[in-house]
Structure 1
């Protein structure tokens, strides 16, 4: 029997460090060889190479909940209702609070929505979704694609209470997404260049739906409360790891060979799996850095189209 076909018994994850309160976004920055994640409540952006007792942090003038690494070395941030870009300081430089350059305002006429999840697709475009923070919890969240080439484009996907579980297949032609408040993990066909989706259908039932990533076997890993669940291409559960220490907020593969699978806890803990389990896993798939090649004129015109 394949190890991927056997569910793992409940076991605590190994706590590496704990700092701040986490957002939903954990990323491996291949250029800087470090893990990065935001603390939206503390207004911090953390970096950790794996060897320090305490991660390095820089303060943001505006709190971020979602991040993506850029081709230039900058960071793309989801700042409430806005997308922004920051230049990261070089090691050893004096660290001052970072002011983000605003790239786009999302759904400006609707005060209840904020950016809740996002990642780059295989072409280096940023795909993200929004959540309704109002007490009514109506499904008014949407999914978008942002690029310097095409600007902001809304994806033709169902409205949600809170967008989550955004991830892409290895070849980039299939997108996963979910409403964190209800329903199942969904999948659809995806054309990055045209920002076109189709064949929207249920991928897997899940009691909870959080951050997600894809491994080099083209299987989806989904954070579900205190558990991590692996699904095959057909949406069948292949493995479940019950970590139990705290609810998980993010998941990512990293390290030089992308064989380290780390999880970010909602209370700021960073965890790895026990060695016996981690050794059985396929490697991850590298994030495509956001393509921040200059193209601001297009981005502004698209932003105005949606904000008017």
Structure 2
């Protein structure tokens, strides 16, 4: 299905997130979760009544997943993984990740089997240059952590899976290359899927629709782009902010595209021209998403 550009997202919530990310739709509650990474805050938004809720985290929350067990989330905190119970506030640490390296967790999503796949990013210290110091991992339902042969990576992003779960998409935003690989118990045949190295924007968070199209938020270019299975651009959503970060399909029919964004790195002058930076945006699209897979593991 080939579409022309012209669709535009609208502001839903002026959240003013420093670095809004990880947006995820919960079909059970018909509501939305996301994180403001730099503020260490988990957000919740209910579109039917406009209500919001926030939870403070003990450290930066980079990504997360809904769990099979109601009330629980799997957290990808800056330094490692943990379970979190929304009502009691109980936090159960699972494991550290890349302890001793100058990295933190970043993008993550569950595969179709309910395993949490995530990557890390390098945090330069003392004026050093950013480099590919991080990697990609998979947390199994038995809480075993498995390194994946997809690194090294400077800024992991765009982790998403085809409808049948047999293809994984991922990127290093630093190189502006989105890759795909054959995905299953083994991960093989990685290759470049989309090359944005000659464009202004960097590939950030992604989601896949029921037809296998990948939707990617382009940091720095104020747009979300849909790519078909062959990596060809066929729909562009204009977002009225410079730094969209990630997308998720929501709504009763899963045809509303929600988009988080960021104020991070924007000067006072830039923010004057971009007053809704860090907001939550949405647009109805002529495609439907898929229910977000839930993490199959349980708190011990």
1:282 lines up with 2:287 in the alignment: yes
Q: Secondary structure at the match of 1:283?
A: coil
Q: Which of 210, 214, 218 is the equivalent residue of 2:212?
A: 218
Cα distance in 2, alignment partners of residues 116 and 61 from structure 1: 16
Cα distance in 2, alignment partners of residues 64 and 219 from structure 1: 28
Compute the displacement of 1:182 (Å).
0.8
Name the TM-score, length of structure 1 as normaliser: 0.84
Judge which range, 153-162 or 239-248, deviates more. Answer: 239-248
Compute the displacement of 1:36 (Å).
0.4
Corresponding residue for residue 77 of structure 1? 75
Pick closer, same or farther for the CA change 1:260–1:183 going to 2, 3 Å.
closer
Cα distance in 1, alignment partners of residues 9 and 253 from structure 2: 21
8 Å Cα contact 2:10-2:240 kept in structure 1: no
Cα distance in 2, alignment partners of residues 235 and 201 from structure 1: 12
Q: How does 1:9-20 map to 2 (within 5 A)?
A: 9=6, 12-20=8-16
Q: How does 1:102-251 map to 2 (within 5 A)?
A: 102-110=93-101, 112-134=102-124, 135-149=128-142, 151-191=144-184, 194=185, 196-206=186-196, 207=199, 208-225=202-219, 226-251=222-247
8 Å Cα contact 2:217-2:223 kept in structure 1: yes
Instruction: Give structure 2 stretches of 5+ with no counterpart.
Output: 264-277
Instruction: Give structure 1 stretches of 5+ with no counterpart.
Output: 90-95, 297-308
Q: How does 1:261-280 map to 2 (within 5 A)?
A: 261-267=257-263, 268-273=278-283, 278-279=284-285
Corresponding residue for residue 292 of structure 1? 297
CA RMSD of aligned residues (A): 1.8
Cα distance in 1, alignment partners of residues 109 and 56 from structure 2: 22
Compute the displacement of 1:150 (Å).
5.6
Compute the displacement of 1:54 (Å).
4.5
Compute the displacement of 1:99 (Å).
5.0
Corresponding residue for residue 303 of structure 1? none
1:257 lines up with 2:267 in the alignment: no
Corresponding residue for residue 274 of structure 2? none
Q: Secondary structure at the match of 1:24?
A: strand
Cα deviation digits, residues 224-266 of structure 1 (max 9, x gap):
1211011111111111122242311120001222121111111
Corresponding residue for residue 306 of structure 1? none
Cα deviation digits, residues 168-210 of structure 1 (max 9, x gap):
000001000100111411000011xx3x211111111123110
Cα deviation digits, residues 96-151 of structure 1 (max 9, x gap):
8x3521111101121x1111100000000000000001132111110000023261
Q: Secondary structure at the match of 2:59?
A: coil
Judge which range, 21-30 or 138-147, deviates more. Answer: 21-30
Cα distance in 1, alignment partners of residues 13 and 158 from structure 2: 24
Q: Secondary structure at the match of 1:41?
A: helix
Is the strand fraction higher in 1 or 2?
Answer: 2
Q: Secondary structure at the match of 1:6?
A: coil
Q: Secondary structure at the match of 2:149?
A: coil
Corresponding residue for residue 305 of structure 1? none
8 Å Cα contact 1:224-1:248 kept in structure 2: yes
Cα distance in 1, alignment partners of residues 243 and 98 from structure 2: 29
Q: Which of 8, 23, 26 is the equivalent residue of 1:26?
A: 23
Compute the displacement of 1:272 (Å).
1.1
Compute the displacement of 1:43 (Å).
2.6
